[in-house]
Structure 1
Amino acid sequence: MSSDVESFTAHLQSSKRILALLGAGLSASSGLPTFRGAGGLWRSHDATSLATPEAFNADPVLVWQFYSYRRHMALKARPNRAHLALAELARRNPDFMTLSQNVDGLSQRAKHAPEKLQLLHGSLFNVKCTSFYCSYQAENFTDPIVPALAIPFDASDPTTKDAVEERREMDISDVDIRLPSLKITDLPKCPECHQGLLRPGVVWFGESLPSKVLNTVDTFINDSSKIDLILVIGTSARVYPAAGYVDDARAKGARVAVINADPEDIPAGGLGDKDWFFEGDAAQIVPDILKSVIGEIEQPTERLQ
């Protein structure tokens, strides 16, 4: 391990153009439940069936309740040292770009430079109007986004609120509550056209990835300069376009460094003799292996907003 760190550090210090590809394993280090691992009341639902345009059209109330829960959980979590380390690398390196498959807003809250952070799957904290005639979209970190979507409590049980609050502090992935009945008029409306419903600005199953993001990434990769290094953090990178970005970076000369808690999670193209695999918690490993160029990263004691 020490020799791997030494060889990685030597390469990092000579690297100019760097890519980072992020997956759910990075946010797991912040204690955030994965998309398919949502706890509490959502254990009885198939989360993937709620993440489609068809589901929103059929039952926007249920879909918004699910995404309001996910927004709340993401805001309860804190950016970890790996988020902070990558944000610091973005500040120090003009030719660094992060491609994130995460929608939890933790990189943004770590103050990662927006122009160096490409959100492949959108964000829980972007909202956009569903009206065909309206192009409104905005960033929104308000929790709840409208009062009706607040995490509810059982008013008939005076102990429920305290119990839920205690459980939130212990385990943010488990909120055991009942869903209230809401009307469509209770859901967030577009502040611009005042007609359309707002929807979460995430990429749902069956939707295309954002073309602006894809074009920005392609421009970076296809630049005439070589790519020195790609960091693959908390993702297997076996699904496209993620897998393709690893291959593209390697074709431009990049060496690959994988940071993952699962030793089986390696990119589809495998690892070469000159690549690295660092097994363990990304929140610990990423700041350590980047320390020679970004300095020491401490976990802040205050919650980042």
Structure 2
Amino acid sequence: MASTAAPSAIPPADLESFSSRLKSSTRILALLGAGLSAASGLPTFRGAGGIWRTHDAMQLATPEAFDTDPGLVWQFYNYRRHMALAARPNAAHYALAELSGRKEGFLTLSQNVDGLSQRAGHPLEKLQLLHGNLFDVKCTDFYCNYVQQNNYTDPIAPALAIPVEGTDPTSFEARHAVSSALLEKKTRKELDIADESIYLPSVPAGDLPHCPECKRGLLRPGVVWFGEALPGKTIDTVNQWIMDSKKIDLILVIGTSAKVYPAAGYVDMARSKGARVAVVNTEQGDARGLTKDDWFFKGDAAIIVPEILKGVIGDVR
């Protein structure tokens, strides 16, 4: 049943068998990854964009990086917020939101932090965010528990304003290209403005977002950084949903390899409850581990997902 066809040529037998299963399913788990938002023009985390291509994004996603240079980290996350706000939910986001609304026993676990599922109208009570949200912020002061959700201010602080690309390319590149030159603390005069390695001006801590409640701590993005625990409430909610299920009919794995735990474990947990697996991704390797009773649909999620869900939700956007 596994398919490697192009998006426009999903084998009718695969589409029919999947649609039949979907229609009869009352308990569905969806696992979403970065590939879902790629069709909206958002780069994956590790490929966070050309203007950040000279820096390892993972080195900016740690508590230690924020302690060392919060200005640099906030420039990176302000850029990611800006890009996410400029993007629009694609047809797959809308299709999943519609399916979630139609299927009572539906739960989505998303590894994405871009807010596109929410903006597509995905029911919040059926959406769990494994890695947090770019648009939540929280105080870093040990004694303060301030959290603000859905902060869409762009830029989040005036000092982080992104110049309009094209109006002054030199200024744009200088503000946003992280390079070895920055890491080596070179001065602006030592750098070639035409080179990719361009100095990124520092932003003083006093110009970064501060907590409006305690007035002491810096605000930080409400995402899970490397070295931090995943949100316990989210993990507990998903685990409880699975344990409460006498049977799970289907697990949708969309835009993710699901090879990293704990996400990888949910496929096995769903299988143990009787679920059949449907993978939608661009990589053939993600078909490994599927059985003859599962499905692999290769291609762009924005094209594939609305097509395979059409039997239940009809045409969306």
TM-score by length of 1: 0.88
Shift of 1:184: 0.2
TM alignment of 1:50-65, pairs within 5 A: 50-65=60-75
Unaligned runs of 5+ in 2: 1-10, 173-195
Is the 8 Å Cα contact of residues 85 and 297 (structure 1) preserved in structure 2? yes
Matched to 1:274, the amino acid is: D
Task: Work out the CA distance in 2 between the residues paired with 1:34 and 1:282.
Answer: 14
Give the number of equivalent residue pairs: 283
Q: Secondary structure at the match of 1:79?
A: coil
Cα distance change of structure 1 residues 163 and 10 upon mapping to structure 2, 3 Å threshold: farther
* Aligned match of 2:280: 259
Counterpart of 2:309?
A: 290
Equivalent in 95, 100, 103 of residue 93 of structure 1? 103
Contact in 2 for aligned 1:232/1:257 (Cα 8 Å): yes
The residue type equivalent to 1:277 in the other structure is F
Counterpart Cα distance in 2 of 1:209 and 1:36: 19
Aligned to 1:235: 256
Aligned to 1:110: 120
Q: Which amino acid in 2 is paired with 1:58?
A: T
Distance 2:81 2:40 in 1: 14
Identity rate, percent? 69
Deviates more, 1:104-113 or 1:145-154: 145-154
1:152–1:179 contact (8 Å) kept in structure 2: no
Matched AA of 2:290? L
Q: Does 2:31 correspond to 1:21? A: yes
The structural deviation recorded for 1:10 is 0.5
Q: Does 1:137 align with 2:155?
A: no
Q: Any conservation in 1 of the 2:72–2:202 contact (CA below 8 Å)?
A: no
Does the aligned pair in 2 maintain the 1:96–1:116 contact within 8 Å?
Answer: yes
Name the CA distance, whole Å, in 2 between partners of 1:18 and 1:95.
Answer: 6
Structure 1 Cα separation of the partners of residues 12 and 245 of structure 2: 34
Amino acid at match of 2:269: D
1:203 to 224, 229, 232: 224
Matched residue SS, 2:284: coil
Give per-residue Cα distances to partners, 1:106-132, cap 9 Å, x unaligned.
111111111111100111111111011
Q: CA deviation at 1:265?
A: 1.8
Deviations 1:272-304 (A, max 9, x none): 111000111100111111111112111xxxxxx
Decide which of 161, 166, 177 is 1:150's aligned counterpart.
161
Task: Report what 1:38 is aligned to.
Answer: 48
The residue that corresponds to 1:7 in the other structure is 17
Task: Determine the C-alpha separation between the residues in 1 that align with 2:63 and 2:264.
Answer: 25
Cα distance in 2 for residues equivalent to 1:110 and 1:163: 34
**What's the counterpart of residue 4 of structure 2?**
none
Judge conservation of contact 1:152–1:177 (CA < 8 Å) in 2. no
Show CA shifts across 1:135-164 (max 9, x none). Answer: 11122111111111111369xxx9417997
Tell me which amino acid in the other structure corresponds to 1:103.
Answer: V
Superposed CA deviations along residues 160-191 of structure 1, whole A, max 9, x for unmatched, are: 17997xxxxxxxxxx99963332101101111
Deviations 1:52-100 (A, max 9, x none): 0000001100000000001111111111000011111111111101100
Aligned to 1:281: 300
Alpha-carbon separation, structure 1, partners of 2:101 and 2:199: 44
3-state secondary structure, aligned to 1:225:
coil
Moved over 6 A (4+): 161-164, 175-178
Q: Secondary structure at the match of 1:231?
A: strand
Judge conservation of contact 2:54–2:197 (CA < 8 Å) in 1: no
On the 8 A contact 2:137/2:147 being kept in 1, the answer is yes
Distance 2:216 2:243 in 1: 42
Structure 1 alignment gaps of length 5 or more: 165-174, 299-305
- Could you say which residue in structure 2 is the equivalent of 1:303? none
Task: Report the alpha carbon displacement of residue 37 of structure 1 after superposing the two structures with TM.
Answer: 0.8
**Partner Cα distance (2:219, 2:297) in 1:** 41
